[in-house]
Amino acid sequence: MDSSKEKKTKLNQEYERWKRYYLGTQLEWESKRINYNRIFLSIETIIPIATANIPAPNVLPAQNSNESIVLARDWEKVLMSIFKRQKIQRKNEKWLRHMLLGKYMVLKYFYDKETEDIKTVVVHPKDVLFDNDWNIDEWLPWVGHKIKTTAAQLITLFPKKKAEISREVAWKMGTEIVYTEFHTNELVIFRFKDVVLGKSKNPNIKWNKDWSFNKVDNFFRNPKSPFIFVNLFDLGETIAGSTSLVEQASTLQDWIDKRKNQIDRNADIVNWKVIWTWANGLKKEEFADIDWSDPHEWIFMSKGETSDIKRETWTALPQYVQNDMVHSEWWIDNVMWVHGTTRWEREWRETAVGRNILREGDRWRIDALWRRLEEAMEELYQWWTQIVKVFFDEERVAVILNEKNAKDFIKFNKNSIEQGMEIEVIPGSLIPEDKASRQQRALTLANAQLIDPITLYEELWVRNPREKAWRLLAYQEAQQSWDMSTYISELQKTWDALEREMSRQISEAKNESDRLIQWVPVPPNPDADATHVSTHSALMQKPEFAQLDPKIQEMFLTHLEAEANQVEQWETAKPLT
């Protein structure tokens, strides 16, 4: 039986093989071939669908009291804020590519001492060590993570091992190296080649003084290693899963490439390669000397009389070759869960009902992917809660939009997490809505006067639906009364209010800038908007700013980045439902 190392090496080799199919470079003669990559098309259709929505956390209160319920609802908002701040949606895209190509995907999470914040990273499958005979649903004895760094940086992390590290790299401190973290539920061991750099108890867990598990100051009931493993096609035999979508589709992709290039080469020969020969045709050796690589070159054979010259024609491929390629395209769509309707392509033979049936069929199959992702996000939310419970002593603030499109500022720390609180993901929250159908339904109901203007604008995803609805009603009332003066007056009030708010933001931003230049620390303004941030940015472009003390410039830039991130988070957040 293969050793654990040999099995992991085989998995890495398989990943590289399937990656070439994703990139469309699986054949050595790719520079001369047509890249008709159905696998890439299918994967990059699946991923935006699977990651379109944020997995909605559902926090179950520890007690049936108003205080516990409020804490639970606030913690849901904090988790949503962390999700956006950590840019998990973008990381999920990379994560899913790993699984669709390499059979499994890995996330790692920990407390970053430098930023004093949670850190969530997507670990490349090639950088993870484990025994593939283990079952993903069972306890994993250990997990290794290979980390790239330089010798100098490694010495900074482990100064007591400076001599051993230096010897291993021949005292070349800029040498790029790889060291490994080996994690169990309770321990982490650091190793570089044969040098054991150090070991410690699991740093993401709160331990008692006797190194026993602290049952009060941890969110988890037991210690866990900081990794999330997910596979899709699991027969219960391995961590990595038994196969992948790309592996299943690879032979079909090979067949499509073969047929496509046969058709292409035949078309070149039939349409462009012109050979003039004498009446008795070509000898075997003359035929062998023809260069078929240039379809535009005409070839004249000099033997025989001019009156005997004729053109040699080439027979077109039979229709079954084209039909066979089309059949392979259709079947690879079946295997990859992505038909033309899911890609929003239109085919003449489809009816509207037929398109919906095909699209819904793909959605039901992609649902297996959504379920895996929801399970992983549920575990990730629980891990974030664990890290907050252990490390967040001081109060922090999470900013998120509420259902009224207003900013909520949620203060939280380790005490915001009650003992007995449970966290799950609402099933189906990742499944994207069919917005086009929803908007069409809203317009139909509006035409039948069965919904109000605010609901209509909300269903159409119009910004500021209440303001838009008020303007519509005021305009309709003005039309009925034949008096537009009241409507125009109210609009002027709205514009005046916007101008006053813009002036206030500019004034506050200038005041903050003046204080920062005087070396007075200024916290981020919670009411800052895009105008406020632009005012700060304009000051940075002036020549006077470049002449300021570098420390003042750094403090100014830190202030500006904090407010810019706050504005970005506010503008991109969606209302909680």
Q: Cα–Cα distance between 178 and 127 in angstroms, integer? A: 10
Backbone angles phi, psi at 107, to 5 degrees: -115, 150
Residue 343 has pLDDT above 60, yes or no: yes
Of residues 329 and 311, more confidence is placed in 329
Residue closest to 49 by CA, chosen among 341, 403, 411? 341
Q: Produce one character per residue of 376-409: b if its CB has 16 or more CB atoms within 10 Å, e if not.
A: bbbbbbbbbbbbbbbbbeeeeebbbbeeeeeebe
SS3 308: helix
Band of residue 31 on the pLDDT scale cut at 50, 70, 90? very low
Alpha-helix residue ranges (DSSP H) falling in 103-140: none
pLDDT of residue 147: 95
For 269-296, write each residue's pLDDT tens digit: 665 555 555 555 555 566 666 665 565 5
Q: Select the highest-mean-pLDDT range: 7-11, 248-252, 468-472, 485-489.
A: 248-252
Domain parsing of the chain, residue ranges: 1-140+225-260+320-427, 511-572
Mean pLDDT of the chain: 81
The percentage of residues in the chain with a pLDDT greater than 90, rounded to a whole number, is 31
pLDDT of residue 565: 77
Of residues 297 and 51, more confidence is placed in 51
Q: Cα–Cα distance between 179 and 199 in angstroms, integer? A: 13
Residue 150, beta-bridge partner list: 176
Instruction: Give the H/E segment covering residue 44.
Output: helix 38-50
For 70-87, write each residue's pLDDT tens digit: 999 999 999 999 998 899
pLDDT of residue 314: 64
- Total residue length of the chain: 577
Of residues 403 and 106, more confidence is placed in 106
For 153-170, write each residue's pLDDT tens digit: 999 999 999 999 999 999
Of residues 237 and 183, more confidence is placed in 183
pLDDT of residue 286: 62
For 551-561, write each residue's pLDDT tens digit: 888 888 888 88
3-state secondary structure 496-541: HHHHHHHHHHHHHHHHHHHHHHCCCCCCCCCCCCHHHHHHHHHHHC
For 381-413, write each residue's pLDDT tens digit: 999 999 999 999 999 988 887 666 667 788 999
pTM to 2 decimal places: 0.70
| Strand ranges for 213-325 from DSSP E | 227-231, 274-277, 298-300, 310-312
- For 542, residues 6+ apart whose C-beta sits below 8 A from its C-beta are none
Of residues 211 and 308, more confidence is placed in 211
